[in-house]
Copies of this chain bind each other. A is one copy, B any other.
């Protein structure tokens, strides 16, 4: 179902990161649904979380624990989001952390909990807690694929990215996984991502790197415009491959790490779009020539969210009036439509706000028939630009979301 090559790459080991998985029967039988990450002492961890006001109990708890210090363990279950679950939900998230803290002999605040799955049902806390020891028992460095599989909900494929890079003669690894297929799954909730490196990076820069790279990756994708109650992304730097700590953005090594992390995060984010519910096409929406980045982003999202643009792409119909309309209602003030150019890949469809003279439906339809394409818009009023990734809207999107619980 997923669009393009979504195969798992070789998942390089990250020194200082061990992963354990177990079958805890949270919702389904015969599948790994509990994942534990163990970080070596001194690992620097940063997290970003959903902006949804209805954020889930484990999100509240993870945020609080992150403020308290440096986490040593992540515990993730799939099958149940522990969202919309009130006080009992919070007690269950706390109980999970308490039990793992006891088993692993760390402080409860050194554990970050995550849940994904059905909203509005209570966690089967007894089964979940029973799975913790088995997961701890099989902690090992080579379980990134197991982890990627163990956090899936209705994803059709596990999602991973991994790179190695050299700084001052030392080889470092950056490896990560993600899950998600709609911004919210059929009452699943939704996007999780965990990325780790064994490079030595200061806590401040780990946070900065995460913020910078999330903004060009997970904050630039959309399947259906719905934002989950559970979205979380964690970046950890163990420092276990050695070398001197990177603690300044002026350190030349910072730029290298930023480049690697950007590629890894973009890949993990784009894999979610490629596995988008019912997706048959992967679409890059690139807006340039803006007065500022925000207006480029607003227009890119307006196009990427438009059900009419997305159904036209599903039908390989170069229906450019829908793209113009989506630009027009993005709410950008004082837009001079006569300066706007629009391309489908290299085919210019709109010139100075009207149809391009040499445009033909055949040329447009050819681009639209591909499984990957770029919609490029030039606003003609500045140097700012931004890019958003999305997929088309197909029968299967409705089918998946309408049929899920029936």
Residues of A within 8 A of B (CB): 51-55, 81, 83-86, 89, 118-120, 182, 184, 186-187, 189, 224-229, 305-308, 311-312, 314-315, 317, 319-322, 324-329, 332, 335, 337-338, 350, 352-355, 393-395, 397-399, 401-406
| Contact call A226/B84, Cβ cutoff below 8 A | no
Q: Which of B54, B189, B317 contacts A405 (CB 8 A)?
A: B317
Q: Which residues of B contact A120 (CB under 8 A)?
A: 320-321, 324, 354-355
| Contact call B321/A53, Cβ cutoff below 8 A | no
| Contact call A329/B52, Cβ cutoff below 8 A | yes
Report the minimal beta-carbon distance from A88 to chain B, rounded to whole angstroms.
Answer: 8
Known contacts A187-B321, A227-B329, A329-B226, A311 near B86 by CB under 8 Å: no
> In the bound complex, what is the Cα–Cα distance between A226 and B393 (angstroms)?
14
Smallest CB-CB separation from A87: which chain B residue?
B354
| Contact call B315/A403, Cβ cutoff below 8 A | yes
> In the bound complex, what is the Cα–Cα distance between A403 and B329 (angstroms)?
24
If A84-B321, A307-B307 are given as contacts, then 10 extra A-B residue pairs at C-beta distance below 8 Å, sorted by A number, are A53-B328, A83-B321, A85-B355, A184-B308, A184-B322, A225-B307, A226-B308, A229-B325, A311-B402, A314-B398
Which of A306, A314, A329, A404 has the most chain B CB atoms closer than 10 A to its own CB?
A329
| Contact call A406/B317, Cβ cutoff below 8 A | yes
| Contact call B315/A402, Cβ cutoff below 8 A | yes
Smallest CB-CB separation from A223: which chain B residue?
B307
Q: Which 7 A-B pairs have the closest CB atoms?
A: A119-B321, A54-B328, A86-B354, A315-B402, A311-B401, A227-B329, A52-B328
| Contact call A332/B398, Cβ cutoff below 8 A | no
Can you give 23 contacting A-B residue pairs, CB < 8 Å? Answer: A52-B329, A53-B328, A53-B332, A54-B327, A84-B354, A85-B354, A86-B352, A89-B354, A120-B320, A120-B354, A186-B319, A224-B306, A225-B305, A226-B308, A226-B322, A229-B321, A307-B307, A311-B397, A311-B401, A315-B406, A317-B406, A394-B402, A398-B398
Report the minimal beta-carbon distance from A281 to chain B, rounded to whole angstroms.
Answer: 12
> In the bound complex, what is the Cα–Cα distance between A226 and B57 (angstroms)?
34
